[in-house]
Every structure is written in C-alpha cells, then in structure tokens.
Amino acid sequence: MSGYPTILQPVLDTEDARGLAEFYRHLFGLHYRPGDDADNGQHWLVLLRPDGGRALAFQQVDALPAATWPEGAVPQQIHLDTTVPSADELDVQHERALSLGAKLLYDRSDDPEEPLRVYADPAGHPFCIFVA
C-alpha cells in the first residue's frame, strides 16, 4: 500500500462565494489564501487557519437549494461540527453567529450533557456549535 489521500479542506458550494467566505472568516477568525483577499470576482476562494493550514473553500454555483433540515425535502448533506469549551462561550458564539447572519435551526443549549445549537449559514448550510 502506498498510503492514503489527505483531506485538504471541505468545500462549500454557494451562490455567493465572497459573502459566505466572509461569514466563515469572521465566525472562525480565518484569513484568505494569498490572492483570494482581493474582491476580483473569483469563483473559488480558500480560507486558512492562523497557522496557515487550509480550513475551508468556497465554490460559486448558479443555484443551490438550501437545506430544509430538520424537516423538509432537502437534507443537511454535510455540516460542520464546531466546539467551544463552556456553556458561557456557547452563548457568546451564539450571539456572534446571529450577528454575522446565521439562522438558528435547533437549540439544545439547555442539555446538561452536550449543550448545542444548530444554525444555517447565509447560504443555508447547517453547522453546529456545541460544548465539548
């Protein structure tokens, strides 16, 4: 066996690559790959972690049906799990996510074992923030 492929990054399809990249850039404290920071109509953008590793990429598409989870005809298909260390931090990040344009889909923040909230990003992709 010669090894395994390496996962480089998740890629999110979106009707607004720049807008969705900006949402996640602010939500997670990421920065653009060199050259992607200029708004010159790119249809493929990459965000990097503070250490320079790839975090997320965004691909422009003409149309994208938004997930209708938890009910409806369009399932999540993929979602991002993110964690915070405490319930207090979950509340702080809840306010940040909403202020950046997220929509709350599911709230289980009062669960004593695993407080969590599920959101839709501005393009409709679900993501979770939970205490771990």
Q: What is the mean pLDDT of residues 44-48?
A: 95
Here the CATH number for the domain that contains residue 97 is 3.10.180.10
Structurally, how many domains does the chain consist of?
2
User: pLDDT at position 5, please?
Assistant: 67
56, 84: one domain: no
pLDDT at 2 over 70: no
Report DSSP letters for the chain, one per residue. Answer: ----------EEEES-HHHHHHHHHHHHT-EEPTTTSS-S--SEEEEE-TTS-EEEEEEE-S--PPP-TTSSSS---S-EEEEESSHHHHHHHHHHHHHHT-EEEEEETT-SS--EEEEE-TTS-EEEEEE-
- Determine the average pLDDT of the residues in 82-90: 95
Q: Per the domain annotation, does 113 fall within a domain?
A: yes
Residue 105 near residue 121, CB atoms below 8 Å: no
- How sure is the predictor about 112, in pLDDT bands with cuts at 50, 70 and 90? very high
pLDDT the model gives residue 1: 58
Examine residue 107 and state whether it is found in any structural domain, yes or no: yes
For residues 60 and 78, the model is more confident at 60
Model confidence, pTM = 0.84
* Positive or negative: CA dihedral 90, 95, 101, 105: positive
Residue 27 sits in which domain range? 11-60
Whether residues 25 and 55 share a domain: the answer is yes
Please check whether residue 110 lies inside any domain of the structure: yes
